[in-house]
Structure 1
């Protein structure tokens, strides 16, 4: 087959060829860096959130679930690195890793929405909805979010018939050209898993900023601090997911049956798959700055670790 045939996607042969340049050269370096930063950061965030939850902090429940979702995704990165380096991977493990990654995307979006709504209720309606912001309520909401995300994901996999061929398929390998069913799933994910969360978060953040501007009890420095934080959260989410979701939506619209589109978009798509990891790395760093209690807990932990290290060092010197 000549080069034009492989690029333009011949329906006669049904073959659409591609390379794996992005995976081979970008993924090992990028995912190694993301893992080195993201794993300890999310572990720290999970610990801090757990301590705060035991003290009755309702927001910490969402932070725990967010950290768990991000950690699940971060833990798949070594497997993606191994595959990028050309090592073989069992079909079932391959599919499991892909499901964990994509489910973590949308579970994270769900809990970002929960945190946004929680802050919205706390700041815009401080004297109302107290029962909604109790720890037991947030635990129930978290369970519902996980169930909804899992059911939706299983439904989408069933629609593409991937769930029935789970063990034999290799869902971790991105096909060169989308099927019609996969294209519909891609567009559904872009709308339900990205546009809807962006709308919810944008609405909540805008209302929070309006309420802060009208508030006479909140000092100017505190308003600026909250506004900067809200902007950072939304900007980071958009930075991490917008390119990926836009390209995935375009692929869903134009790619089925068109190998030329698939060839032109594949490398760009694979780059943006990797950059979504930015959100899992930045989540714990940003969200631990939401409250002074979280920062104080981290300071207490670091001080405890420093004291323990000093004791061990002193013991070693004496021996």
Structure 2
């Protein structure tokens, strides 16, 4: 486990990481960034095509891709942190990077929840709430999500809980947590994880129930829809569940001398949460029918372009 060093006043502790322990995280995050940037750029393009077709769902997909892409680009600073072992970019950049981290967390899971609700309205109430599924409504909801998430982060993320200037550490677990951070972690667990998860479970359950009761839907199509909804729900639980559980546990830990067991699982949970940037475009592009069609169109385009180049050379 990582070493623990007590602070000057023996009231806080922080981790000292060797380069060998940092290296696996460095390679993992590097692989995430290299893969996520082009996939989310493509995801952004595909979702924009949905918006051009006046599809309200495309607005949620576009904002989801935008959130993942901006976070992935900004996340490159953490590679430098892992490489050096210290944060050299100052407190303002540290706090800003943590803003990006939590903004991506909660815009992503709320937008996934909106996508599930949009599908619920389309399948269970196809003619009743059509105004809620228009592009204008989806755009207003998306703007409200960004404003609420950014406002919540401004209130809950503080310099004291994020940056340790003496040891040049950024977001690297200072214990014991402050009362402000403890309240923020509880709020994040309830509002940022439990509520979206319950709404997604409800939406998926009603969609599956409606599909099964619809005699016109073929059995193969029912299985495909059920599998798709299950994968999206498991993705949310897998990416955001561990980090929120660890944040909640951090609020009850008081003695920093007994925290050696806590640090490494916490850092692993953060690493798992970053998989969300890769999961969103992959789930859409390779599991949904529309996503597969878009991928096939792009592949066909490059095949035709490559063939024309070859013919020109010949």
Q: Structure 1 length normalisation: TM-score? A: 0.87
1:187 aligns to what? 186
**Moved runs in structure 1, 4+ residues, more than 6 A?**
9-12, 168-171
> Which range moved further: 173-182 or 237-246?
173-182
Matched, 1:176 2:164: no
Q: Deviations over 1:77-133 (max 9, x none)?
A: 322111101065311222211210111101101101110100111111112101111
Unaligned runs of 5+ in 1: 1-5
Matched, 1:200 2:224: no
1:42 aligns to what? 40
Give the superposition deviation at 1:146.
Answer: 0.8
CA RMSD of aligned residues (A): 2.7
2:270 aligns to what? 273
Cα distance change, pair 278–149 in 1 and its aligned pair in 2 (3 A): same
Cα distance change, pair 59–289 in 1 and its aligned pair in 2 (3 A): farther
In 2, Cα distance between equivalents of 1:291 and 1:131: 24
> Which range moved further: 221-230 or 298-307?
298-307
1:153 aligns to what? 153
Cα distance change, pair 15–240 in 1 and its aligned pair in 2 (3 A): closer
1:121 aligns to what? 121
In 2, Cα distance between equivalents of 1:17 and 1:161: 16
Give the superposition deviation at 1:309.
Answer: 2.9
Cα distance change, pair 117–11 in 1 and its aligned pair in 2 (3 A): same
- 1:128-277 correspondence to structure 2 within 5 Å: 128-157=128-157, 160=158, 172-177=170-175, 178-252=177-251, 254-255=252-253, 257-277=254-274
1:3 aligns to what? none
Aligned length: 307
CA contact (8 A) 1:34 1:281 kept: yes
In 1, Cα distance between equivalents of 2:146 and 2:225: 28
CA contact (8 A) 1:95 1:171 kept: no
CA contact (8 A) 2:95 2:159 kept: no
In 2, Cα distance between equivalents of 1:217 and 1:30: 46
Matched, 1:297 2:302: no
- 1:6-155 correspondence to structure 2 within 5 Å: 13-21=10-18, 24-86=22-84, 88-91=87-90, 92-155=92-155
Unaligned runs of 5+ in 2: none
